[in-house]
Amino acid sequence: MKVAVVGATGLVGTKMLQVLEERNFPVSELLPVASERSVGKEVLYKGKPYKVVSMEDAIAAKPALALFSAGGSTSLEWAPKFAEAGITVVDNSSAWRMDPTKPLVVPEVNADALTATDKIIANPNCSTIQMVVALNPLHKKYGIKRIVVSTYQSVTGTGKKAVDQLMGERAKAVAGAQDEYPMAYKYPIDLNVIPQIDVFLDNGYTKEEMKMVNETKKIMRDESIRVTSTTVRIPVMGGHSESINIEFEKDFDLAEVKELLRTSPGVTLVDDPANGGYPMPMDAHEKDDVFVGRLRRDESNPNTLNLWCVSDNLRKGAATNAVQIAEYLAAQGLLG
């Protein structure tokens, strides 16, 4: 299958190439696409160099599939052009996520939302993906009434500039390095915590917070789930962490909850606090699963659970989820 990766030189695009390779996706020809200034540069796939091509050349080559990670405005402009040419787009930006005509998919939760007529498919926000993978099995069994989530998000979610800021600040603090580094954030990130991800909206929440509210309801197909979120950037690289408080309709047995999570696809239970067993971004880094631990009853409220959830935001939160959507489309004969 001919596959285009749009935004192939960015952090998520590079991870998409890595995940396609690792999972042995049947790529017969790869078309890496990036901004005009990168056209002609090379990216490596399965040890072979591939020249970056323009959007126009990628469309003319008629791939069956295009994985997009090039930002919202690029996606708004170009995804429809790919779709009109019959190319199925899986888009990692926020551009199409809340469009009622476009499916928003986490394969463990709602792969059945995908049909052969969907030409633009939205990949959800990283912090939403890991939460719904962990919570959907519990929702099916106990019925979620309300979610209160606070996130601790890796700088890799912002992109390479933020990684360079963090490492630049650290080098300066530790070794007095004089090298210039870019500022991805308004404030220092090393030795700091920034309670803002994306821009503020009129209701006082950030866009990232409202993504968690709105995308969760769409993916889990339940508008009645109440969600409130606080999203925070921390000086970490391996993945996003979330403290989640979940109130259910029905009461639950904690041992049963653990067993349910232990046997759910895409979830790894790490819950052995007596021996220091709980998920951390260091351990989730470069893994595809969503790691869940610190399971305990919220003793202040009936039918309510607390859990801690960690996942590599560039993998399950972006590239792996997109490739899993493509794998499902291919397996069901829904491509091309």
* Residues placed in the known binding site for substrate: 153, 233
Residue 126 is among the residues annotated as catalytic for this protein: yes
Length of the chain (residues): 336
Q: Is 165 in the site for ligand 2RA (CB under 6 A)?
A: no
**Footprint of ligand 2RA on residues 112-141 (CB under 6 A)?**
125-127
Nearest approach in angstroms of CB 162 to ligand 2RA is: 8
Q: What is the DSSP string of 148-190?
A: EEEEEB-GGGT-HHHHHHHHHHHHHHHH--------SSSS--T
The 304-311 sheet, strands edge to edge: 226-230, 144-152, 240-248, 304-311, 290-297, 267-269
Nearest approach in angstroms of CB 12 to ligand 2RA is: 8
Return the SS3 of 248: strand
Q: Is 197 in the site for ligand 2RA (CB under 6 A)?
A: yes
Q: Which of 38, 74, 136, 153 binds ligand 2RA (CB under 6 A)?
A: 153
Name which of 159 and 336 has its Cβ closer to ligand 2RA: 159
Please report which residue ranges of the chain form alpha helices under DSSP H.
11-22, 55-60, 72-84, 107-110, 126-142, 160-175, 207-219, 254-262, 281-284, 320-331
Q: Give the active site residue among 139, 240, 285, 309.
A: 240
Q: Which of 88, 158, 268, 304 binds ligand 2RA (CB under 6 A)?
A: 158
Name which of 208 and 242 has its Cβ closer to ligand 2RA: 208
Which H or E run contains 297? strand 290-297
For residues 71 to 110, the per-residue mask of contacts with ligand 2RA, x marking binding by CB under 6 A and - elsewhere, is ----------------------------------------
Nearest approach in angstroms of CB 313 to ligand 2RA is: 6
Q: Is 311 in the site for ligand 2RA (CB under 6 A)?
A: no
User: Rounded distance, CA 30 to CA 293, Å?
Assistant: 39
Residue 309 is among the residues annotated as catalytic for this protein: no
Q: Give the active site residue among 126, 139, 285, 309.
A: 126
* Number of shown-chain residues binding ligand 2RA (CB under 6 A): 9
Q: Which amino acid is at 309?
A: C
Neighbours of 221 (CB within 10 A): 11
Name which of 94 and 304 has its Cβ closer to ligand 2RA: 94
Q: Is 215 in the site for ligand 2RA (CB under 6 A)?
A: no
Strand partners, 291: 268, 310
Near ligand 2RA by CB under 6 A, which window of 129-137, 152-160, 165-173, 183-191?
A: 152-160
User: Rounded distance, CA 55 to CA 191, Å?
Assistant: 40
* Whole-number Cα distances in Å, 296 to 20, 304, 306: 37, 9, 5
List residues with catalytic annotation.
Answer: 126, 240
Which positions touch ligand 2RA (CB under 6 A)?
125-127, 153, 157-158, 197, 208, 313
